[in-house]
Chains A and B, each alone.
Chain A
């Protein structure tokens, strides 16, 4: 194995533990939403973006309209555009096919590790390090989903295992509220979604998210 590939694998190892609960919950939530094993794995392979999968599964379980399921997941994954722009200069040296393949593996973790490493060490092979970090994430994600489906099918409903879904989001939300504008975005996004919970077509989440994003932009303007 190439040294740069191994460096990526070594750096991602501690993060793998962090995505295990996330992947398990995705599997459990798939069962609760009525997906079979094939559909659950299909979603983890095709979408391969945890937060959007959990949100989509929750809405599928509530029988939300297709457009709302897709729209909500799409909004959650908009942040990938930022990662794509930020990592693009490092991949510009590769051909179109290689870049297209590398893009599929872009996740929060692979992005954050790679960009930090590339700015530290200019001689690292870009694709080897990135693939070394991204592939273990993919493997853990898919195996975790399968395990979650099996576990989720065997636990009585009264245990409320799907409550793990908001808990995962909570664990992501707290560090995301890192300054005043982002805290205001979170507080108003949550309040907005709560007040809009009765809005038809399960649009409450998107309404709340819109209110929160707008509040964050305005707050940044006022603070600056």
Chain B
């Protein structure tokens, strides 16, 4: 991306995000509550979006099941997922995940 396009992206994302932040803080008194038709889908934005971000970074579908599963990113992701579930600690999740990735990339599959 060119420098200009990066700045345009930053500006547009920043503008929209500020709009979300200020929305009800600004409107309070006129609209006091998010209608349920809006709030219900919003509850599922975090799990759906985060999973949609994570899975394609960990999995690449290959011709055979073995080739798909024997992928250092997937193995590291599964291990890190267990750490995240057990500890709910971002540092531990990143640390164990990266260590597993390097173990398989530089030792096991090397």
| Contact between chains at A103 and B25 (CB < 8 Å) | yes
Q: What range describes how many residues of B lie at the interface?
A: 35 or more
Chain B residues in 8 Å Cβ range of A81: 20, 23-24, 34, 38, 42
Instruction: Using CB atoms, name the residue of chain A closest to B18.
Output: A104
- B49 cross-chain contacts in A, Cβ below 8 A: 51, 55, 75-76, 189, 205, 209, 212
B10 within 8 A of A: yes
| Residues of the A chain whose Cβ atoms lie less than 8 Å from the Cβ of B10 | 39, 42-43, 46-47
Contact-size category for A: 35 or more
Which residue from chain A places its CB closest to the CB of B27 in the assembled complex? A88
Known: A191-B55, A213-B41. A51 touches B101 (CB 8 A): no
Interface of B is mostly: helix
Binding site for B on A (CB under 8 A): 17-18, 20-22, 25, 33-35, 39, 42-43, 46-49, 51-52, 54-56, 58, 60, 63, 66, 69-70, 73-89, 91-92, 96, 99-100, 102-104, 106, 158-161, 163-177, 181-183, 185-194, 197, 204-206, 208-217, 220
- Which B residues form the contact surface with A (CB < 8 A)? 1, 3, 5-14, 16-18, 20-29, 32-34, 38-59, 61, 73, 76-77, 80-81, 84-85, 88-91, 93-94, 97-98, 101-102, 105
